[in-house]
């Protein structure tokens, strides 16, 4: 069953990728700094995969990327 929030998770992943690249980090570097695997970051960022994540994980990623967490949660229709 597909999550009703699949599009929102996809948008969060794309924003993570955007801010990661803006900071000049690779997926591997971000994963290491957050304490996750590069594969997990890859799944979060993949536009064709809807990967759920916890608020703790989102806050950790936001802290490493020096981005206010709410920037990841501003969704577009």
CATH topology for the 6-69 domain: 434 Repressor (Amino-terminal Domain) (1.10.260)
Q: Check if the beta carbon of residue 33 is closer than 8 Å to that of residue 64.
A: yes
Residues 19-46 pLDDT 10s: 999 999 999 999 999 999 999 999 999 9
Task: Look at residue 1 and tell me whether its pLDDT is greater than 50.
Answer: no
Residues 37-74 pLDDT 10s: 999 999 999 988 888 999 999 999 999 999 999 999 99
Q: Check if the beta carbon of residue 23 is closer than 8 Å to that of residue 61.
A: no
pLDDT given at position 37: 97
Q: Chain-wide mean pLDDT for the chain?
A: 93
Q: Rounded to two decimals, what is the model's pTM?
A: 0.92
């Amino acid at each position: 069953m597909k999550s009703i929030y699949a599009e929102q998770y996809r948008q969060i992943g794309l924003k993570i990728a955007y801010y990661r690249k803006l900071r000049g980090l690779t997926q591997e570097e971000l994963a290491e700094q957050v304490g996750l695997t590069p594969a997990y970051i890859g799944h979060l960022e993949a536009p064709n995969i809807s990967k759920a994540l916890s608020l703790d994980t989102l806050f950790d990623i936001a802290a490493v990327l020096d981005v206010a967490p709410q920037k990841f949660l501003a969704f577009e229709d």
